[in-house]
Amino acid sequence: HAKRAGKNTFKFFDASLNKSALTRLRTENALRHALENEELRLHFQPQLDTRTGRMQGLEALLRWRHPELGEISPAVFIPIAEETGLILPIGEWVMRTACQQLRAWQASGSAIQRVAVNVSACQFKNRDFTNLVARILAESGLDPACLELELTESILMDHADESIGMLHQLKALGVQLAIDDFGTGYSSLSYLKRFPIDRLKIDKSFIYNIENDRDNAAIAQAVIAMAETMALHVTAEGVETREQLQFLSASCCGEVQGFFFSKPVPVDEVPETIRRLAEHHNGTDSGASGEG
Ligand code: C2E
Ligand code: MG
Ligand code: MG
Ligand code: MG
């Protein structure tokens, strides 16, 4: 009897292992068809000037809704896309769609100045990446200065010497470069100085409870001071409360982004979101203040 129970236990364990492997395989297969089935779309989240409250740009964030599996988080499918190489065609679609969308908004009279696009390691390391960005900019007719590429510290530090060359190639196109999730990787400050970058985005983990958490406050203020010294722009991500905004404003953090102002919204909600943020800004004239 004991032996049988043990066997059953083993079978159960085996089956549950299979189930998670199956879920992963199913997700992976579904992702292979996500592009052609038009299941991907972009949401956009405003980035605001802390002092004036004006919107400076929008970050494009990828969304995937599968007809049966439902809405799947980028935290789940981006790593799968990276492991399978699917991030190359998907990333190209993101870049093209973001550039075309901003160009379309500008053509219809909107003053949106910038779209920020997240770039994965495999994209950045691909020999053809600079050419691809150049081609997409030319095809869309977007001013290269309106495109900001967000790269993480680990992507850049992984092969730091090669990264410097890649970044110079991209800068030669006229695009803006940002380091995303800054503070979560291991940046060598001597390399940071040699990277031709334009902006640091302070990771949202350091913005959490910043008005009470001394460590987070010290880290954020150190990054802001370092950015100032190196003549870099700085954005705080994950701003959810008025208290966080007030702290960042008093610390002279140039730009802010987060749920306090707006969550990432679908294309058709962007004009209304911009209107709401601008109205609030005109109404108070006291810098970024969100809906409170
Ligand atoms: P990220 O680039 O650091 O983007 C910021 C994430 O924080 C987004 O999550 C955004 O929705 C979320 N966020 C914004 N404001 C707040 C806030 O106030 N509080 C909190 N708690 N979260 C906030 P999302 O959209 O789920 O994306 C997660 C990550 O997936 C992104 O982090 C990025 O690394 C990756 N990702 C998203 N879209 C793309 C893409 O098109 N290409 C690549 N390569 N990666 C992408
Ligand atoms: Mg980002
Ligand atoms: Mg980030
Ligand atoms: Mg992040």
Which ligand is closest to the CA of 98, given by its number? 1
Nearest-angstrom CA–CA distance, 157 and 140:
31
Q: Say if ligand 1 is within 6 A of residue 183 CB.
A: no
ipTM above 0.85, yes or no: yes
Residue 38 neighbours by CB under 8 Å, 6+ apart: none
Six-digit token string for 13:
């364990």
Q: Which of these, 49, 43, 80, lies nearest to 234 by C-alpha position? A: 49
Cβ–ligand 1 contact at 47 (below 6 Å): no
pLDDT at 6: 47
**Strand-pair category, 55-66 with 40-49:** antiparallel
HSE (side-chain half, CA atoms, 13 Å) at 96: 13
Q: What is the pLDDT of residue 24?
A: 87
Cα–Cα nearest to 167, from 175, 117, 137: 175
Per-position pLDDT tens, the chain of length 292: 444 444 455 555 556 667 788 888 899 999 999 999 999 999 999 999 999 999 999 999 999 999 999 999 999 999 999 999 999 999 999 999 999 999 999 999 999 999 999 999 999 999 999 999 999 999 999 999 999 999 999 999 988 999 999 999 999 999 999 999 999 988 888 888 899 999 999 999 999 999 999 999 999 999 999 999 999 999 999 999 999 999 999 999 999 999 999 999 999 999 999 999 999 876 544 566 544 4
Which residue's CA lies nearest to atom 8 of ligand 1? Answer: 61
209: tokens are 């409870």
176-182/199-202 β-pairing: parallel
Residue 18: per-residue pLDDT:
72
Q: Please enumerate in sequence order all residues whose Cβ is within 8 A of that of 128, keeping only pairs 6 or more positions apart, or say none.
A: none
Spacing, Cα 60 to ligand 2 middle (Å): 8
- What is the pLDDT at residue 1? 47
pLDDT of residue 189: 83
- What is the reported pLDDT for 166? 96
Kindly calculate the radius of gyration of the chain based on its CA atoms and give it in whole angstroms.
Answer: 21
Are β-strands 255-256 and 40-49 bridged in parallel, bridged antiparallel, or unpaired? antiparallel
- Ligand 1 atom nearest the C-alpha of 120 is 44
